[in-house]
Amino acid sequence: MNRSRSELEPANIIRRGAAFLLDSLLILVFALFVLLLSIGVDSIIPFHAKMEQSYLFRHAISLVTLTLPVILFFTALEKGKHRATPGKKWMEIKLSETGERSSCLLRNILKFLPWEIAHTTYHLYPDFFLTGEITGIGEVFGISLSYLLMLIYIATVLFRRDKKAPHDLISGTQVIKN
């Protein structure tokens, strides 16, 4: 497929960052909805106590009700007609699949990996987030890894000429001007 030069012009860091912040607000609204729904369901079928007792149960509930829906929602929107999440649409940027084996799903799994690492850390060490007290290397490693990946993502967009983040490089995608 022949693409014009302007069609592949990378979106700048400001537009990408603003789009991510707007999308993050949508995720926050969704997370609050899931929390309220969870409280309602717990009043009928008590399961919060089981979540407190089991890391695996706590993490599975979080993965199925929050992380997977967000990843699938972003993937569907970026594969859809506008090729953009609401934040990207507002910032007039979109996703382009530039590789022969491009994958929006892989892109979003990798994009949200730091978030999921933070979730995993939280579910393994909930007391750290409530008290701030570090009781082991796990809290330090999990949170540090999450922040390190985010910094790498930002740095690659800042310093690469094509403005591709690691998740774009690996998945054969690029965020471009609309």
Q: Are 113 and 107 within 8 A, CB to CB? A: no
Average pLDDT, consecutive stretches of 10 residues, N- to C-terminus, the chain (178 residues): 60 94 97 94 87 82 93 96 96 90 93 92 75 75 92 94 94 94
Q: What is the pLDDT of residue 102?
A: 84
List the chain domain ranges: 6-177
The first and second tokens of residue 35, run together, are 């929390």
Backbone dihedral region for residue 109 (phi beyond 0: left; psi -120 to 50: alpha; all else: beta): alpha
d(CA 95, CA 83): 5
End-to-end CA distance of the chain: give it in Å, rounded.
18
Q: Are 142 and 120 within 8 A, CB to CB? A: yes
DSSP string, the chain: ----TGGGPBPPHHHHHHHHHHHHHHHHHHHHHHHHHHHHHHHHS--HHHHHH-HHHHHHHHIIIIIHHHHHHHHHHHHSTT-S-HHHHHTTEEEEE-STT--HHHHHHHHTHHHHHHHHHHHH-HHHHHH----SHHHHHHHHHHHHHHHHHHHHHHH-TT---HHHHHHTEEEEE-
Burial classification of residue 73, based on how many CB atoms lie within 10 Å of its CB (0-12 exposed, 13-18 middle, 19 or more buried): middle
The first and second tokens of residue 167, run together, are 């998740």
Query: Any idea how long the chain is?
Result: 178
Q: How many whole angstroms from its chain centre is CA 121?
A: 16
β-sheet bridge partners, residue 2: none
d(CA 165, CA 153): 5
